[in-house]
Structure 1
Amino acid sequence: MIFERDKVLQLCNDWSKNTLMQTLEIEYIDAGEGFLTAKMPVNSRVHQPMGLLHGGATVALAESVGSAASLMFINTEKQEVRGIEISANHLRSKRDGIVYCTAKIIHQGRSIHLWEIKIMDEKDRLISLCKLTNMILPRR
């Protein structure tokens, strides 16, 4: 895909309809050469029982953004993306507000993309650091 910021954001937000991304209220807000950023509200919908941002919701955000970011590098009519491995280190808790998630490409191969994904709060503090590996497959 040839990079066009507005088209990338529109595609990502359109593809999120009726999916987990819509349920989590993830909104793609910025894109550039080699990165994609989204935001997600932190509220009771994404809390664990102690009232904190659930690690699973954080990982779902990271994988959603990292997988969508791979769309910038493929021909979506001929190829598709599959997340095959994700790791996450949760470093700070969060009860409310918004988190921002940015995926930055580390390695862009023909069949494997590796992403570093940072989830930050409104004060630019690191909440979680993730790494995602995507496999690029022929479209079925």
Structure 2
Amino acid sequence: MTDTPLPPDPASRSAQHPAAPPISDELREHFAPLLRGTLLERCGIELLTLGPHGGTASMPVAGNTQPAGLLHGGATIALAESIASFAAIVRAREVHGEGAQAVGTSVSALHHRSARSGTVVATCSARHLGRQVASYLVDIHDEAGTLMSTVTVSTQLLPPR
């Protein structure tokens, strides 16, 4: 497996995900109160692009390290599960309508290397989009485009209650 660099800016990254448009100001305002006090807020995770087929999110390394000064594997997994879960929510609403939700059922991570500083970006791509299950592959790269981790995330799509 080779390290594939990502384009340097979020606008370029969204070109890799034609189904994942940049997060609109309206959507950011909608999510803001829901994210207050959550792990996403504590980790500094920012959604960049989002659609039912995937999206991108970023997270600073600072504040998300283990005692050795390296990016914490758990923080990396939280970043991957977050972008996959948001994509799954969009998919659930596409299939089941407004108010549908998605919950994670499985996460598996392979860490190739770690970072000590900067920002990492998760790029999420759908692998299966069913009516009840959606699964995603998430690659996490550092600012230089070096592949840091590969994470698979499966979700259950829930109709509104």
TM over 0.5: yes
Residue 92 of structure 2 contacts residue 159 of structure 2 at CA under 8 Å; is this kept in 1?
no
Q: Which stretch shows the higher mean deviation, 65-74 or 83-92?
A: 65-74
Residue aligning to 1:102: 123
**Which of 55, 59, 66 is equivalent to 1:48?**
66
Structure having the larger proportion of residues in strand:
1
Counterpart in the other structure of 1:72 = 90
Residues 1:9 and 1:90: Cα distance change in structure 2 (over 3 Å): farther
Q: How far apart are the structure 1 equivalents of 2:137 and 2:100?
A: 22
**Separation in structure 1 between the aligned mates of residue 71 and residue 125 of structure 2, nearest angstrom:** 23
Counterparts in 2 of 1:106-121, with a 5 A limit?
A: 106-121=127-142
Give the fraction of aligned pairs with identical amino acids, expressed as a percent: 36
CA gap 1:80/1:92 in 2 versus in 1, 3 angstroms: same
Gap change, CA 1:95 and 1:4, over 3 Å in 2: closer
CA distance in 1 between partners of 2:51 and 2:131 (Å): 20
User: Is the CA contact 2:141–2:148 (under 8 Å) kept in the aligned structure 1?
Assistant: yes
Query: How far 1:34 sits from its partner (Å)?
Result: 1.8
- 1:23-50 C-alpha deviation (Å, 9 max, x unpaired): 000001123572210100001x211110
**Contact 1:13-1:28 at 8 Å conserved across structures:** no
Q: CA deviation at 1:18?
A: 2.2
Q: Under a length normalisation based on structure 2, what TM-score does the superposition of the two structures give?
A: 0.77
Match of 2:110 in 1: 89
Q: Distance in 1 between matches of 2:30 and 2:91?
A: 13
**Could you tell me how far apart the structure 2 residues matched to 1:85 and 1:4 are?**
26
Between the aligned partners of 1:83 and 1:12, the Cα distance in structure 2 is 22
Q: 1:85-108 CA distances to partner (integer Å, 9 max, x unpaired)?
A: 000000011101000011110100
What is the CA deviation profile of residues 52-96 of structure 1, one whole-angstrom value per residue up to 9, with x for unaligned ones? 001011011111111011122122634111000000000011101
Return 5+ residue gaps in structure 1 as ranges: none
CA RMSD for the aligned pairs?
2.2
After TM superposition, the structure 1 stretch with the greater mean CA deviation from structure 2, 129-138 or 68-77, is: 68-77
